[in-house]
Structure formats: C-alpha cells, structure tokens
Structure 1
Amino acid sequence: MMPNVTRGGRMAGLVMYLAGPGRANEHTNPQLIAGHDMVTFAVEPGRALSADDALDIANILDFSRKQHGTRVLVSEREFDEARGEYVTTGKKDAHVWHASLSLKAEEGELAREKWAEVAHDFVEKMGFIDPEGVKTSRWAAIHHGASKNGNDHIHIAVQLVREDGTKADVRHDFKRAQRVSNEIEKKHGLTVLASREHGYGISGDKPAELARAQDRDSGMTERAELRRRARTCLATASSQGEYIRHLQDLGVHVQPRFAKGDRNTIAGYRLAFPSASKDQGGDGRQIWYSPSKLDRSLAWPRIEERYGDAGRAEAVDLMHQIREKTVSQPVEAKEVHRFSAESYEKLISGKVGPDTMANIYARLSISMEKNSHGPLVRLSDDFSRVAWSMRGHQLPDEVLYRQRGGHHTSAQHASHQPAQGRNGGAGQLGQQWLMATQVGRRGPVKDWVSLLAQANRIARIVTETNLTRERAQLAGTLHSTLDVAEVLCRERAPRTENTVTPEKRAAQRAAQRVEELRGLMKQREAQDYAEVQDAKTKSLESHAVVSTARGELKAAKQAAVQAADRYEGLVSGVRKELGSEVVEDARRGRDADVKVFDAGLLSRGRVTQESDAIRRELASRWDVPVGERVKPQKQRSSNPFTSSTSEVDRLWSRWTDAVVDKHAPQRLDTPEIREAQAARDEAAEHRDQALAQVDEAKQASRQAEHRAEMLEQRHLRTSPSTYLTRAEESELARIEGRRDPSQYHSPEAARGPIVSPGKDRDSGYER
C-alpha cells in the first residue's frame, strides 16, 4: 500500500474534487466509507456522493477551524539563484491534510468494509484520533473506482485544527505515513512493499509534477527526466568535472553548494531544467531538485566516491564559474556523449554491477527511446533499486562468467538457444562486437541495438543469479521489463532493404495512414469528451459558488437589520429624551390656557396675563411660536372629546411635536449616531451587492448547467465517424475498400445538427 501525502488550504475544493468526475473521469461512484462521527452522521456511508453531500462534508470538517479561528500556515519557498539556496517568500494556508492510499493493480479491489478498517487504522496511527475526543481532528475517507493505472485506492481528508482549537502534529508525516502503511499491510494481510521493507524505493512523481507534465503535453515529469539524464552522465563521464560538463551538455542547469567557510569543498548541488515561458508551453517557473531526492546514488558524496580525486579541481572551478555566472547555463541540450571507456569496458566484459547497469540503461534510453520513457527507463530505475537493496551483499566480480560454466538464461530457455560454450562467453562476444565496430562494419543503429542486446543479457543473468533468491519481488519485475526490452531490441534491429517489396511498402504506408486516421478520430473524440467533463466540473463549481453567495447574502441581510435597528434605537432615544423635556413646558402652557378657559369674568384678565407671559417665555425658550389661544364658549359641551379643553390639548400637542422636529436634528448630529447611520448605509449597500452577486451566480450557474447539458447531448448524438472531415472519411473508406463513406457514418438526419449554420459543414469536429 503506497501513501501519498499533500497539504492544502481549501477543504471544500478538495472534497468537491473527490466527489466529482476527476481529471481523467476516473472518479466512478464516489462514496464516503468512513470518517469522524459528525461526518458519518450527516452523510450516510456507502451511497454515491452528490455535490451537496460534498459541501456538507467540507463544512463539517471545517467547523472547528472556523469556530476557533485557528490558522495553520506553512512557508512558501523559492530558489534564490544569487544565494544558491531556497528562501522563504511568504506564508500560505495549509490546514487541509490529504493522503491517498493505493494498492497495486495486481492486488485487485478491496472490499468497502476492509477499506473502512484500513482508513480508521491509518488515521488513528497517524495520531489524528484522541481517545478522549478533545484533541481529535475531523476526517473523512472517500473511495471511488480505480485510478487511471488500475490501482484501487481511497482518499483521506483531515482537518488539522482539532476540536479544542489546537493544531495537529504533522511533523515527519511523510516518514510516519510509510511506517504506518507497513504496519497496516502486515495487520490486514496486504502485499508488503519490498521497496519499503528493504529500503530501496525511489521517490515517485508528485501530483503537481504530473499535472505540469500533462500541461506540457509530455509523457514524462521533470523529476523522472532529470534522473535519466543524470544517470546518463554517470555512464558517459570519467571524472567529477566531466560529469558536470556532461550535465550542461544535456541541457541541465546546475546550482552548486559549497561547504561553509571552505570554497574548495563542494557540499552538494541542485538540478533543474531551463524555465519555459507560456509562449513555449511552460509556466515560467524553474523548479530545482536535490539529486539525492531523485536517486541516492546521485548525491554529491556518492559522485566523489565514484570518481575519487579524478577531475576534482576541474569540478570546483566549474562550480565557481556557475556560481559567479561567468559560465552561462544551457538553454537546451546540445550533445549526448557516448559511453565512457570504463562503462564501455564493463558492459562488454560483463564486469558490471547493478549501479552501473542503471546508468547504462539510462544512456541507452536517451538514444533509443528519445523523448519518451519506456522499458529502458524502468530497467534503469529497477537496477538502481537493486543496487541499494543489495548494498549489504558482496556481488561477484564477474557475474557473467557463470555463463561459461553452462548457465542458461531464461531468454535462452524460451528461444531454445544453447548457452555459450567454453569459448563463447560474454568476454568473447564483447571482443567480437568491438572488432566489428572498429573495422566499420556496423552503423550507429546497429551499435546501439548491439549494446542493448548485451545489456539485456547481463541484466538477465544478474537477475537470475543474485536476485531471484534475495529479492524475489524485484526479480519478477525485472524479468517482466526485460521481456519488453528484448522485444524493443528485436524491433529496432535493422533489416535489409531488398526484403521489402514495393507492394509491401505501399501496404505498410496504407496501414500506417489508417492508424493515423483512426488515432486522429479517437483524439478528437477524447478532446470532445474532455470538453464535456470540463463543462460538468464548471457546472458543479458554479453550484458551489451559488451556495456560497447565498450564505454571504444571508449574513449581509442580518448585518443590515442589526445596523438599522441600532440606528433607529439611537434616534428614538434622542427624540424620547427631548420629548420629555418639552412635555413639562407644554403642560405649564396648557394649564394656564385651561385656567383662562375656566375663569370667570372678574378674574379672566389676570389669568390671561399669566397665560400670555408663559406663552412668550416658552416661545422664546424653544424658538417655536405658540398657536392662538382657544376661546371659551358660552355653552360648554358635555362631550369631553369635543370640548374646548380637548382643543387646548391638541394645540399644545402640536406645539410639542413642532419643538421636537425643530431641535431633534441638532441633537442627532453626534459622532455615535453618524457612525451608526454610516454603518447602516454600508450594511445596506453590502446587502444589495450580495443580492446582485447571488443573481449573477445563479445566472452563471444556469449558463454553465445549460452549456454542460448542451455539450453532453451533442457528444451523445455525434457518432465517432463525424470526428473526421468529409475528405478524411472518404480517404479512410477508400483505403479500407469500402464503396461509400456513408457506410461508415450515420446520415445527417439521424445524426442531428452538429454545427451551426454559419460554420463549415465539411468538418464535423470543427464546432
């Protein structure tokens, strides 16, 4: 079981991806199989996950982080060429811990219940589960079909902010994941990885590196290609200085690191490819690799052990020139050197160990596999693993000399060929090959094919004589890869021209053209299908955007209501306080007017004077005139609501309101009320913006959903043949001997419209 650990800062993005179709539509029937109690309570394990389920899982996993506000950060680092080391450029969120656990394809599929046990054991042994529950990290395990390579696997997402707001311990998590995987393999009866058990693994490609290779439309990652080129230079160089120069000749940038306080001692080095701009199909970044992380045999101490003091001064001088930029870094590969005399002699004589075989196969791959990685690269990696797995064992000095004693390789058994006799060993074969080359009877193609055949013979015997008993699992892998390499050797062997007749050559060209057309048809169909899947992914993402926008709108509405309530409360308080002061004065005026109304003829003059005085005083104090006094009627009404006293009350009530309206704005002009009013207006504006964003997100979601549905319908009703132009269909029909191209594709009426009226209808795929 192989674990792959990564870190990130978007829990929702990770879970949505795991519940989605995947980059290559490999996510079939995604389902939750295990997780934290809150996760399994909200989403039932075992059923297919929807986009809403994925968002629910992400929100539950993110709850503790949002509740406590804890941030988990890691440093962002970039390589500084001037300083020759990595420097920290900032911090980024890394609260999401993601591990994928995958089985080998030959192990088949694991039951869902068994995967659930494996996931729980893995999370528990990694320390994410606290028996008391306080320091537990929330997690979820999701399973969906096999990967592109046929490996059954699960994904585990862990929230690094624990229930109590503290951070989970992820120190040395890569090594711990390997150790825990080894324990789980033994506990559950899974295949124990020999590379981990014996310590001869080679670092695998990271998801980001695979994505970069896919973006460049390349079948190899920078990590794997740097490893191949560095091993190639070990096979072609005879000294430390030559090794550095050959790296540069192969287009590899080298960055040295010297020991502290000693400019004559190389402590290490880094490798990278030249950065490619976006116009050249790259992203403008240059990623540096430590050779010891590519292959431990490439570390600088191992280079010094290999070459001794040979070329040491040249290497130091060249490294200083690179450091001081007096020697320019290469832009592209300009030369691939031939084998060094030492590597050549070892290969021909058979006095070669696994480490040298790894370098020899890398050099053969450069010449025979060119810009692709095939069986020769795999043999190079496998023999590097052999070198490290057998480093505690003493290998024979001349392993091939066992062949002279009558030892038969499996290849000879399969082809019923006798082993070399006493005079037909590998040494004599090497001498014959050398003599033929020196007299010029071989071309460059025959040279490399002969070298590959010799390497395959040596590899087969090394595997059978030393590995079958010691490292059976590795030996089986080597035998399978050698079978493919031997087929490659036979296919690349040059053939005489007179054996190919013109008719046969024409048939080969026709077959090649048919293969090209059918490949073109599949390529276009795959591109169309990828467009459909991309549209579906964008539709799911748009649904997530709508949900997020709705949440923001709800929060904005609540904030607007709270801000409005606070402002209205402050205004109401000010008006209430002002009204209580005015009411006291209004009561004095009202009582004086009532006395005038109730006074008799003898005392009316005196109370009228008192009422006028109070009226003038109140009008002056509040700067608001008082209305005319209500004149007493000769006959009073018995109805209290229509009596003159009620008119007096209404008079002074109107005066009170007028005073409050006049003086309230002055008292409302305070910093606190102005701040509350600004907060109310700002909250209302934010609410309106959130509402507009929801509408915009809904419209975008509808458009994305409509586009995904339209593309899917178009893809379903488009028959494969329509991915060829009319001319290409006719050519394919002619080559295959069909009379009418219509026999190859469905009629237009049945096929449905596949292009808009204004487009060129000669090509079905040009939509």
Structure 2
Amino acid sequence: MMPNITRGGSAAGLMSYLVGQSTREEHRHNVHENPHVVAGHDAVVQGITDGELSMDDALDIANALDEPRRTFGTQVTAPVKRWDPEAERNVKIGDKPAHMWHASLSIKAEEGQLTDEQWAGIARDFVREMGFDDGNLDALGSDDDAPAACRWVAVRHGGSTAGNDHVHIAVNLVREDGTKARVHDDYKRAQQIANKLEHKYGLQVLTSREQDREAQRGAKPAEVDRVAAGKARAADRDELRRRLRSAAVSATGERDFIERARDARVLIRPRYEKGSTTKVVGYSAALVPPRNEDGSRGTAVWFGGAKLDSALGLGQLRNRWNSTEADERDAVEVWTARGDAARKHEYDVPNQGRPARLPWETVQRLNAHGQNVVPDRSAGFNRHAAIDMSGAFAQASIYFERGEHGPFAQASDVFARIGARDRFTNQDPGRVKEQNSALAANAAYTARLVQRATGRDSITGWTAVFRQLSRVGKVIAQERQLAGDTAAVVAVQRAMANAMRAADEVTAQAPAAPAPSTPSVAPMPTRRGPEQTPGGRDRGTER
C-alpha cells in the first residue's frame, strides 16, 4: 500500500476534487465514479446520507471539516519556496495556507478491489496511528494527556487510470480545541503505518520498505498514471535512477560522472554550500522534458540525487571514488557549466545518448566480489558488491531493454536496496580489501575475463559480464542468508533468476540496431598500472 501526501489551504477545493468536479490539471489523472464517504469524524459525517455525493454534499462536508479553524482563527501555513538561480537552491519567499492534509492510500491493481468496510477500517487505523484522532493513547498514558481530535473524512471515488483501488483521507490540521496537529516527519510515519496496515489487512507487503525505507522513493501516483496512459514509458525518477547508476558505475571520478550523465541526456545542476559558489555539496537531476504540441519544451522536473537513491548522493559517490579535495575542485568548472545551462533552460545534451562503456576496472571489481569467501565478507564489502551489481544491471538495461524497464532494471533496483543498508567510507576495511583483491589476488583471472569481455563482439563481452554477475549475485544471496535476512535472499534470487533468463535470450543474438545508449565493455589498457594524476588519483582509461 502506497501513501501519497499533499497539503493545501481549501477544504472546499479538496472536496470538489474528491467528488470529481475539480478543474485543476493535476486532478485529471483519476477516474471519478460514485464518490462516497466510507468513514470520518462524527461531526463531519452526521447528516451525510449513504450513496453518491453531490456537490452540495461536498461543500457541507468542507464546512464541517473547517469549523474548528474558523471558530478559533488558528492559522496553519507551509513555506513557499522558489528556485534562486544565484544561490542555486530553493529559498523561502513566503507562506501559504496549509491546514488541509490530504493522503491517498492505494493498492496495486493486481490486488483487486477492497470493500467499503475494509477501506473504512484502514482509514480509521491510519488516522489514529498518525495521531489525528483522540483514540491513539499508546504513547500518551491517559485520556487526560490525549490531544483533541482532528476532523477528517475518507472518500472513495473509483480507481485510478492505472486500475489502482484507493481511498482519500482529508484531515483539517486544526484540532477541536484550536491547537495544531503535529505533521513533522509525516511522510516517514505514513510509510511505517502503511507497512503495519499491510500486515494487519493481508495486503501485499512492500518488502523494499521493510528492507530499507530510505534507499529509493517510489513514483507518485500521477507519475504511475502517466506511464499507464502511454504518456511516458517509465516514471521520470525510475529512468533517472537507471541512467545515473550507469554513469556512476562507469565513472572514474566526479568530473567524469558529470560528463557521463550529460552523455546519457541527463540534465544536472549543482547545489552549493550556503554562501559559496565554488563548494558543491549536492546536485539534482532531470530528464530532458518532452516537446509540447507547439514544438516548445515542457518544464524539467528535478530530483535530488540522494532522494532518487541513497547511493547516488554526492557524498556517497565521492566516498565511492575515494575523491580528494583536488578532485572536487577539478569538477567545479563542469558543475558550473551544467548549472548555467540548466538555469538558462539550455538543454546542452546530445540528441541521442552517446555510447557508454563498462570500464575494465568495473569488470575487475565484479570479479573480486565473486572471488571472496562469504564468511569473510563485511557488511560494507557486501554493499560495494551490491552497488556495482546495481550499476552493471542498469547499463545492461539501457543497452538491451532500451526504453522499457524489464528484468535488468528490476535487478538494478533490488541490488540498490541491498546496498543501501550501509554507507561508503574511505576507511572501510572491506573497501581496502576489495581494492587489494581487485588489483592483486585475482589479477590473472580478471585479465582473462576482460580479454573475453572486450572482444569485437559486444554480445560476447556481455555474455562474460553476465556470467560474472550471476556469480556475484549468488555470493550476495549467501551472505544475506548467513545474516538471517530471508526477505533479501528471496528478492535477490528472484531478481537474478529473471535477469539471467533475460540474459540468455538477449545474448542469443545481437540487437537488431544500436540502442540509444549503447554500453559495451571498455578494453583493458595496455599499460601496466593505472594512470596517475599529479595528485595520485587513478583517472581511469576513458578521460
């Protein structure tokens, strides 16, 4: 079950949407059929007859929801932020009314339809667990300590265009006594409560949320509906994850990552430390927006790297590359150029994704991952293996699956979640072990593998890589089994089975035409050791 939360300042506007009479563009992705109340605060639902809601009913409900706010004059606001091109970040420019809290709870289309009684129970439990009802005394100790209730209502109005059954919950954040309800961390708390309700009501349990609640955020309902309506082949954030993981696993450092992201037609802009125009502390990314009917470009939708995937945060990437301050300074020029282009809405990217290569160093690391004895693996080492697996599968997905997100993309997501449990640190013993193993203990085997993987036939190269991915997947599953993480074992085994079946199919014959972004395996350099910069950093083979 997936919760989606928004805030607003109009009870009447929200109820108009729920009965299907809103004219706002963002409200057009749901099919409104037979809108009706399934549960609510007594003061809100009294007098509302069973059956389909009319517009008059909706306004009556809105008035009842809003009565405490009007009576006490309590103001609930939320900050209004706007992108400041000079500061390169969102800055507060004012406040807006935000006393209406709106959550939609949706289940997957394959779960079918729930009854009104089931949704009523789910809605009551959700409101109580969120602390909006006066019936949640678990952490309060006594009735005297309990806050007054918020007025709320739960409405069903048919499935989304993707066929997902769902319920809408509207809550006025001004309580019956005029105090304000607590909404801090509401998104995180809603996810935790959704997990409890999945178990209680026998719904499909989102295992990724149990495995790691911060690894990667899911697509919002509107994004899912755009895909279902044929307006997009994949949700923007899913496609960005795929392209950025591919860029990250191939990159030798920060500057290289920025250039590879651009080659993958990803718009990217820096976030500077407060008061600085040279200290980059983060970034956001977007896909090139599609053209409108008049030929103009739409507006790019930006996502923070760490919010797409915790392993794609700039700090994590820098630790992954063992970056130095000199490396960070070296990348500022490219960051500035990308930020300037984004600010001017100049989509300075190739018309098609440029060929990307899987560097021999990455293949070498994969071999090192697969060669280690399971009991010797640290949690940190396991994370390095999983993140490399995620990146390699992302690149395989771009090459073979192209615009679709099939078994390779799904495997990339699974290993990203496995890898999100820990964080990269430069002092991690597992990291040191990985590097030493990759460069020494397995050098002979790796050399043979890379020679096979870098032949003229890219399919031959991918066949060798898939064999190695299969070995590493088994090692990771074994490590998770020893750790008692049964859910992760099942997820890895299922993902690997599907991915390896797909690998057998795609390597049976070459693709009919080059993919938009054609990953292959970069040839192993003929030099004896890694090329070093004056600062001692390995800049890789593709600078």
**Partner deviation per Cα, 1:603-660 (whole Å, 9 max, x = no partner):** xxxxxxxxxxxxxxxxxxxxxxxxxxxxxxxxxxxxxxxxxxxxxxxxxxxxxxxxxx
Residue 40 (structure 2) aligned to one of 35, 39, 51? 35
Alpha-carbon distance change, 304 to 31 in structure 1, aligned in 2, over 3 angstroms: same
Is residue 2:494 matched to residue 1:475? no
- Please state if 1:235 is matched with 2:249: yes
Q: Does 1:218 align with 2:232?
A: yes
Over 3 Å counting, the alpha-carbon distance change for 1:100 and 1:324 in structure 2 is closer
Residue 319 in 1 paired to residue 342 in 2? no
CA separation of 1:237 and 1:53: change in aligned 2, threshold 3 A: same
- The alignment status of 1:388 with 2:416, answered yes or no, reads no
Mapped pair 1:342 → 2:356: no
Task: Using the TM superposition, give the Cα deviation of residue 355 of structure 1 relative to its aligned residue in structure 2, in angstroms.
Answer: 1.1
CA change 1:52–1:470 in 2 (3 A) is farther
- Say yes or no: does 1:251 pair with 2:251: no
Q: 1:334 to 1:82 in 2, by over 3 A?
A: farther
Cα distance in 1 between the residues matched to 2:430 and 2:487: 19
Q: 1:438 to 1:190 in 2, by over 3 A?
A: closer
Q: Who is 1:168 aligned against?
A: 181
Shift of 1:381: 1.3
Aligned pair in 2 of structure 1 residues 147, 264: CA closer, same or farther (>3 Å)?
closer
Letter paired with 1:232: S
Change (3 A) 1:452 1:438: closer
Report the count of equivalent residues. Answer: 468
Unpaired runs of at least 5, structure 2: 22-26, 136-143, 372-383, 512-543
Partner letter of residue 185 of structure 2? H
CA distance in 2, matches of 1:236, 1:434: 15
1:195-224 CA-partner distances (Å, limit 9, x unpaired): 444434411122454466678821222222
Structure 2 counterpart of 1:88, one-letter code: K
Aligned residue among 65, 78, 86 for 1:74:
78
Cα pair 2:161 2:229 within 8 Å, conserved: no
Following superposition, the deviation at residue 158 of structure 1 comes to 1.1
Which residue is equivalent to 1:377? 409
**Is 1:356 matched with 2:374?**
no
Question: Cα distance 1:494–1:282, how it changes in 2: closer, same or farther (>3 A)?
Answer: farther
Measured after TM superposition, the shift of residue 358 of structure 1 is 0.9
From the two aligned structures, give the one with the greater helix fraction.
1
Q: Which has the higher contact order (CA 8 A, sep 6+)?
A: 2
Aligned equivalents of 1:283, 1:61: Cα separation in 2: 41
Is the 8 Å Cα contact of residues 446 and 494 (structure 1) preserved in structure 2? no
Query: Within 2, Cα distance between the matches of 1:467 and 1:389?
Result: 15
Output the CA distance in 1 between the equivalents of 2:83 and 2:172. 30
Larger Rg: 1
* Deviation of the 1:70 alpha carbon: 5.4
Worse-superposed segment, 376-385 or 463-472 = 463-472
Change in Cα spacing, 1:496 to 1:489, as seen in structure 2 (3 Å) is closer
SS in 1 for 2:131: coil
- Asked if the contact 1:456–1:485 (Cα under 8 Å) also holds between the matched residues in 2, the reply is no
What amino acid is aligned across from residue 311 of structure 2 in structure 1? S
Given the superposition, is the C-alpha separation of residues 245 and 7 from structure 1 closer, same or farther in structure 2, using an over 3 Å criterion? same
Q: Which amino acid aligns with 1:307?
A: W
Identify, as 1 or 2, the structure richer in strand: 2
State the distance in 2 between where 1:113 and 1:152 align.
14
TM-superposed CA distance for 1:227, in Å, is 1.7
Partner of 1:248, secondary structure, is: helix
Does 2:146 match 1:142?
no
Give secondary structure in 1 for the equivalent of 2:491: helix
1:120 to 95, 116, 124: 124
Do residues 8 (structure 1) and 13 (structure 2) align? no
CA distance in 2, matches of 1:324, 1:219: 29
The amino acid of 1:330's aligned partner reads D
Name the counterpart of 1:289.
Answer: 303
Letter in 2 for 1:98: H
Contact preservation (8 Å) 1:3, 1:177: yes
**In 2, are the aligned partners of 1:322 and 1:329 still within 8 Å (CA)?**
no
Structure 2 matches for 1:143-158, cutoff 5 A?
A: 143=156, 152-158=165-171
Q: Which residue of 2 aligns with 1:266?
A: 280
CA, structure 1 residues 105+334, in 2 after alignment: closer, same or farther (shift >3 Å)?
closer
Percent identity over paired residues: 35
SS in 1 for 2:318: helix
TM-score under structure 2 length normalisation? 0.71
Q: TM-score normalized by structure 1?
A: 0.53
Q: Aligned partners of 1:394 and 1:171: how far apart in 2?
A: 37
Which residues of 2 match residues 300-311 of structure 1 at below 5 A? 300-309=314-323, 311=327
What is the RMSD computed on CA atoms of the aligned residues? 4.2
Instruction: Evaluate the alpha carbon distance shift between residue 367 and residue 128 of structure 1 in structure 2; reply closer, same or farther with a 3 A threshold.
Output: same
Determine if contact 1:367/1:448 at 8 Å carries over to the other structure. Answer: no
Q: Distance in 2 between matches of 1:324 and 1:148?
A: 38
Alpha-carbon distance between aligned partners in 1 of 2:64 and 2:296, rounded to the nearest angstrom? 38
2:106 is the alignment partner of 1:88:
no
| Cα pair 2:34 2:52 within 8 Å, conserved | yes
Q: Say if 1:14 and 1:323 are closer, same or farther in 2 by CA, change over 3 A.
A: closer
CA distance in structure 2 between the partners assigned to 1:395 and 1:105 by the alignment:
42
DSSP-derived class of the 1:278 partner:
coil
